[in-house]
Amino acid sequence: MLRRTIAIVKKEFRQLKRDKRLLFVIFFFPVMLLIMFGYAVNFDVKHVKVVVYDQEKSSLSRDFINSLFNSEYFDLVDIINNEGEINEILDEKQAQCVIVIPEDLSKKLYSGREVKIQFLIDGVDGNTANIINNYANLATLSFNQKVTREILAVKGIKQYEPIKLDPQFWFNPELKTAKFLVPGLIAMILIVTAVISVALSLVREKERGTIEQINVSPLSSIELLIGKTFPFVIISFINAGLILVASYFLFGVEVKGSIPLLFLTTIIFLIASTSLGIFISVVSDSQQVAFTLATFASLLPSVILSGFIFPIDSMPFLIQIITNVTPVKFFLIILRAIMLRGVGIEAFWDQLIYLGIFITVLVVLGTIINKKKSQAA
């Protein structure tokens, strides 16, 4: 059995060696995706374009404006003198936010009355608008505290803060989007390359008619599957290492946990991915169909349903159940636990069980469908 399996493995490696374009895609595609997603997909909202309509033009209003633009979050585009320009600015997207400072800002503030400063925010992109609103609230709160301290200092009163917030962010202190996204990118890239490669490799035998020769040979189905998938598991494993190295140098993402445990869980995930590729090859009769199904079954669920970008806990209950169709969901929890939190297997052992169930279900289904097809033929 071992001799026959090794023969299939050698045959597959020889075919890969001849197909230079496929090899280029297999090794270049993952790193290219990592770079594109890592730099393009970013949830950090910075350099918000702001226009100011200052009706008072006092030293206090200038201090407030300066306090906003001391950070990288707001960029001053223009200062207008006419209220009629506001609609045009927002309509033509010249700015994402217009700040309207009232003409009685100083008078109300120093007399102890409430002052309202309008932040007119473009709300087309709800997520960005909400982040801009949070930035504005924090900036205004900071300015309020500064003015309060100055007023109390003039009166000789020391400001007392009974409760002071002391936020500390664990695992990702800089709150970098890349550190959150890179584990998801690794899982997505691995499943796409593994599923598509395995599915196309097996279906290619059907199209060329060589599958009939294999069927009448002493080779068993298990030997064929192991021999056909082993080279792609090795290649995907090498890709995983390349992606880890690239993510470290490009985005500063380090593996905080056990690297041997990371590689062990990666192998289990690759087995789950190849089992999906095998299942797709069983139900497909052409490389075109196999490629379409493999892309649909690996890429879309790994982006939408895995928790890679959208939190699963925020999804409706029915959709949360559907998310179990992709092994990326389980592997992503493992990756973030090892890479970002640095924890051991006690934190994600149940995810390994789910991966085992996923592998078993697909292998059993694939075997049943393949037997029925063989009997029908």
Q: 222-280: per-residue pLDDT in tens?
A: 776 777 778 878 888 888 888 888 888 888 888 888 989 998 999 999 999 988 988 89
Structural domains of the chain ordered from first start = 2-41+176-376 (no CATH), 48-154 (3.40.1710.10)
Q: In terms of Cα–Cα distance, which of 257, 212, 267, 221 is closest to 371?
A: 221
Residue 377 has pLDDT above 60, yes or no: no
Q: What is the pTM of this model?
A: 0.77
Mean pLDDT over the full length of the chain: 82
User: What SS3 class is residue 285?
Assistant: coil
Q: 287-341: per-residue pLDDT in tens?
A: 888 888 988 888 888 888 888 888 888 889 999 999 998 999 999 999 999 988 8
- Backbone dihedral region of 82: left (phi > 0), alpha (psi from -120 to 50 degrees) or beta? beta
Bridge partners, 52 (sequence order): 79, 99
Those residues whose C-beta lies under 8 Å from the C-beta of residue 228, and which sit 6 or more positions away, are 8, 12, 198, 201, 202
- Tokens in use for 336? 């973030």
Place of tokens 């924890």: 343
- Tokens in use for 367? 């075997």
Q: What is the pLDDT of residue 216?
A: 61
Q: How many CB atoms lie within 10 A of CB 282?
A: 22
Asked whether 194 and 200 are in contact (CB, 8 A), the reply is: no
- Alpha carbon distance 60, 63 (integer Å): 5
Q: What is the pLDDT of residue 209?
A: 65
Q: Evaluate the CA torsion angle 359, 364, 367, 370 in order and state its sign.
A: negative
Output DSSP code: residue 216.
T
Q: Considering all CA atoms of the chain, what is the largest pairwise distance in Å, rounded to the nearest integer?
A: 98
